[in-house]
Amino acid sequence: MTDQTQSVPSSLAPFRQPAFRLLSGTGFVANVCLWMNDVSAAWMMTTLTRSPLWVALVQTAAALPVFMLALVSGAMADQVDRRRHLLATHCWLALVGLAFGAAVLADAVSPPLLLALTFAHGVGVAVRLPAFAAAVPHTVSRTDLPAAITLIGLSMNASRIAGPLLAGLLIAVAGAGFVFLLNGVLAVCIAIILFRWKGDELPAPTPVAGGLRALVSAIRVGVAHVIGSRQLSGVMVRIWVFMFHSAALLGLLALLARAMDGADAGTFALLLGGMGTGALVAAPLMPWLRLRTPAPALLLGGVFLQVIAMATMAITHHLWLALPAMMLFGMSWLTTGNTLTVSAQIHMPDWVRARGMAIYQMSTLGASACGAAFWGQLATWTSVPTSLLTASGSGLVLFAIVNRWRSSEAN
């Protein structure tokens, strides 16, 4: 019998390509900035108000722009130079970061203004994500694509460790305003790198004449393709259910951190860092797991980990127990998200890739935005632990139903 381990592609093979190194490196820094911004904004909101809804709405404000704009951005990314597209978004992120920092340093931030600035930052992220997701596959071979996606996920989760820990340290030493200013400076640095990159590996843009009408037509075609594909529509439904329920923990995590024994900004950072650590532990196992485990079973296993993590976070006030729970949550995110992302990329034809991945990101972040608001409101009506326990139970049941329903359309 052939040893299956021999067929596992090298997990580091994508790094042989300079373009992948550039995109993954700048993507890592951008994700560090993303997490620094989200941690600083969420923690600042807890200093302005203890309302669960207001705190959860920080995640809604960060995620909602992706739901609103990613499809338009994806359609644009299929028709314009993707390098210039990425360059423009980082210029916007630089402006927002500097404005955010100035507002904090001027002591002019209120809950509504904080949400508005977080939304503005999310706009930049929404425009960046489809172009980045569509560019990565052109930097590696199809054989190395699953490894490249895993490495990008690994980078994202490494940033989930570095970003919160760095933000917690900077908040304690220099204040949240400095964190936002640093984000602006780093966005400028990324923009300079992208400006100097020729981007020869990327395909030439295929603009369509007709202006707004052509853009609307391109969006309609992209949506029709995803809906008409059994594999892609199955991916979208699954990621929506998963992210809607996981948003309960992420949206309320700042309040959970506040309730921990001896809590401060570092506690919140450590919890998010624990999530990133769990994802880093799971990432090297993904090629092995994909070979030996059917996708529906792998997905359901990730949801089980999420349920354990959320239930534990709902009942504990001890950091020593919360950290392992957040590690399980990170493992769940990596396992489920990576499996569904690989499926989406493999089944996505290149002519509609940016639009298709934009729809995938809309499903992901739209579910997060809606979920954070919903579970935050439920926590306001009841309590934070009740909201988390309800989300963990309903998430398991609904995902099991969807997974069984779509098992014949799996990856």
Residue ranges and CATH numbers for the domains of the chain are 14-200+212-409 (1.20.1250.20)
Instruction: Work out the mean pLDDT of the chain and round it to a whole number.
Output: 84
* Residue 218 pLDDT level (bands cut at 50, 70, 90): confident
H helix or E strand, kind and range, residue 251: helix 230-259
- Please compute the mean of the pLDDT values over residues 186-190 and round it to a whole number: 94
Q: How far is it, in rounded angstroms, from Cα 43 to Cα 176? A: 9
DSSP assignment of 268-318 equals: HHHHHHHHHHHHHHHGGGHHHHHHHS-HHHHHHHHHHHHHHHHHHHHH---
Looking at residue 403, its pLDDT comes to 72
Report pLDDT digits (tens) over 25-83.
999 999 999 989 988 999 899 888 989 999 999 999 998 887 888 677 767 766 677 78
Burial bucket for residue 203 (CB in 10 Å: 0-12, 13-18, 19+) = middle
Residue 212 has pLDDT above 90, yes or no: no
Token pair listed for 267: 């506690």
Cα distances (Å, whole numbers) of residue 189 to 34, 87, 183, 245: 15, 11, 10, 36
Q: How far is it, in rounded angstroms, from Cα 85 to Cα 74? A: 10
Residue 6 has pLDDT above 70, yes or no: no
The model scores a pTM over 0.85: no
